[in-house]
């Protein structure tokens, strides 16, 4: 494996097989009569080197869970550990650094900087962190994602699928401990969506990356090794080796449960 600046930091004793863990995580928005219990006690592990999809009806807490896991939002209770670090023990500055150095993100809306080229967008998080990209790794990611001919283009000169591939490269280039995606294919046509999902799948298979996405698309979920189903802020089921058909069936069942 090639050396990256991050890997020169002493590893925690016994490399964690669990990339992220939530234990009894709760999230309450608002207070008193207005309180909304978005997460009602979630416990879940995300194994290193696995691709997990989080699914559930609208409003079931998927985005909230992902934001809490990724340190974008604070949980109201419980414990969240990412790569051996307990998030609740960190101050704001430490959380910001953990997000920057150890977590990759792919958002539905791409979130690229419009004034920067594709290449500048890809290396931006490393530049901000004052880290030099591992050139060999950077080139491997660029080629694997087919971005070589687009590196000098700005986001407006790229299709949605190309923009999301740039966002994937940006998420992968720092070799984060975990990559989170909130509906990463939500704004893409089915062909571009499939391309992005294949890239995330390859990141797991070829680069041993850990990936967790939120999706409402059973076909997107079928790229994952495992699907975790949420309803009303709770984990209600999970499925290994999902197929689109089995996931769709489960989702219809969950929607019926929630509608009751």
Ligand X SMILES: Nc1ncnc2c1ncn2[C@@H]1O[C@H](COP(=O)(O)OP(=O)(O)O)[C@@H](O)[C@H]1O
* Contact footprint for Mg ion (CB under 5 A): 63
Residue 33 C-beta: closest distance to ligand X, Å: 13
Identify the DSSP state of 216: S
Longest dimension (CA), the chain: 55
Burial of 38 (0-12, 13-18, 19+ CB in 10 A): buried
Residue 58 C-beta: closest distance to ligand X, Å: 5
Interacting stretch for ligand X, rule CB under 6 A, among 51-59, 104-112, 169-177, 194-202?
A: 51-59
Short-list 175, 112, 103, 104, CA closest to 138: 175
Separation between Cα atoms, residue 112 and residue 154, nearest integer Å: 9
Residue 54 C-beta: closest distance to Mg ion, Å: 10
Short-list 232, 227, 228, 230, CA closest to 260: 232
Interacting stretch for ligand X, rule CB under 6 A, among 1-9, 57-65, 91-99, 187-195?
A: 57-65
Q: Which is nearer to ligand X, 59 or 160 (CB)?
A: 59
Assess 59 for contact with ligand X (CB under 6 A).
yes
Assess 38 for contact with ligand X (CB under 6 A).
yes
Contact residues toward ligand X (CB under 6 A) are 29-30, 36, 38, 56, 58-64
């Amino acid at each position: 494996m090639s050396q990256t600046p991050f890997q020169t930091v002493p590893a925690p004793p016994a490399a964690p097989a669990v990339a992220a863990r939530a234990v009894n995580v709760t999230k309450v928005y608002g207070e008193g009569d207005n309180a909304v219990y978005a997460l009602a006690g979630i416990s879940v592990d995300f194994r290193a080197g696995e691709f997990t999809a989080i699914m559930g009806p609208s409003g079931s807490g998927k985005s909230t869970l992902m934001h809490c896991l990724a340190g974008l939002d604070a949980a109201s209770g419980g414990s969240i550990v990412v790569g051996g670090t307990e998030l609740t023990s960190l101050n704001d500055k430490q959380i910001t650094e953990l997000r920057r150095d150890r977590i990759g993100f792919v958002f539905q809306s791409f979130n690229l900087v419009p004034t920067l080229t594709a290449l500048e967008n890809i290396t931006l998080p490393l530049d901000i962190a004052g880290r030099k990209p591992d050139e060999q790794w950077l080139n491997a990611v660029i080629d694997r994602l087919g971005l070589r001919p687009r590196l000098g283009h700005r986001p407006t000169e790229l299709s949605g699928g190309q923009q999301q591939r740039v966002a994937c490269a940006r998420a992968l280039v720092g070799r984060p401990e975990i990559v989170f995606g909130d509906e990463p294919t939500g704004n893409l046509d089915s062909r571009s969506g499939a391309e992005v999902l294949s890239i995330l799948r390859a990141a797991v298979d070829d680069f041993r990356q850990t990936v967790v996405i939120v999706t409402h698309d059973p076909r997107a979920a079928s790229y994952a090794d495992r699907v975790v189903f949420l309803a009303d802020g709770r984990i209600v089921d999970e499925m290994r080796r999902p197929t689109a058909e089995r996931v769709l069936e489960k989702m219809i069942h969950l929607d019926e449960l929630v509608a009751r």
